[in-house]
Structure 1
Amino acid sequence: MSISKETAIDIALAYREIETAEGLLADINKAVERREVPDVRDAFGRLQGGFQLGVPTSDTSRTLFNVPWNLARPIIEAHIAAKKSLVGALNEKARVEIDQPA
């Protein structure tokens, strides 16, 4: 048997989030250790002085700008931990799907 397309997509997206967050965290940690501003740029190539947190949807968007990098680190670490936990749960779901008869 095989796992469902939905489960496979969910696993892939969780791994992508982990990979992206770990890369960002590594960049932030390196810069902070050197007492530099992390070289994190927006889509237009502009250097960002802090982290953005938000829900960008139409007229009800809520965004916090320039959240200090030292506050971003625990948020990113918690996000990584949550996604790793999700991967574990999805792996169990995949095992159940594989064991189900067709």
Structure 2
Amino acid sequence: MRRVPEFKSDKEAEEFLETDLSDPDFSQFQPVKFAIGHKTAQISLHVPEPLLDAVELRAKARGISNERYIRELMERDVARTSSGSIQADPVSACEQVRELPAEGRGRAR
């Protein structure tokens, strides 16, 4: 099996897709999550500088922005089972949270 190369341009990728794809080793690929849904709310956080430094390092190591890294952390936490009441993917979990009374959401809306 041949390894799938890294592409430097869309043209290279297109040319590769035009070749025989019966023997490449696709096991090198890893799942990717795409940001789905419009981001209409904005927050501002005051955090200790060492915490922000650590977040920046982790985000940089993953090749993503600080904001995306923090959003992923939030999505993962919200999607986790919370005493059996909230689980599933982040979008579904957010919908479930919206259905909670305002006092159950941590702030009034």
TM-score category (smaller protein): under 0.3
Q: Which is richer in helix?
A: 1
TM normalised by structure 1 equals: 0.24
Rg larger in structure = 2
TM-score calculated relative to the size of structure 2: 0.23
Question: Higher relative contact order by CA 8 Å / sep ≥ 6: 1 or 2?
Answer: 1
Greater share of strand: 1
